[in-house]
Amino acid sequence: MSGPSMLPTFSGDASELVVEEMITHTLFPNTFLARGDLITLESPLTRGRLVCKRLIGLPGDFICIDPTGQYADASEHLRIPKGHVWVSGDNLTASRDSRVYGPVPIGLVKGRIVARVS
Choose the catalytic residue: 2, 15, 53, 95: 53
- What is the rounded distance in angstroms from the CA atom of residue 75 to the CA atom of residue 3? 29
User: Is the distance from CB of 40 to CB of 110 less than 8 angstroms?
Assistant: yes
> Does the active-site annotation cover 53?
yes
Is 5 tagged catalytic? yes
In contact, 85 and 59? CB cutoff 8 Å:
yes
Contacts of 111 (CB under 8 A, 6+ apart): 20, 21, 22, 25, 39, 40
CB atoms within 10 A of CB 8: 9
Residues tagged active-site: 5, 53
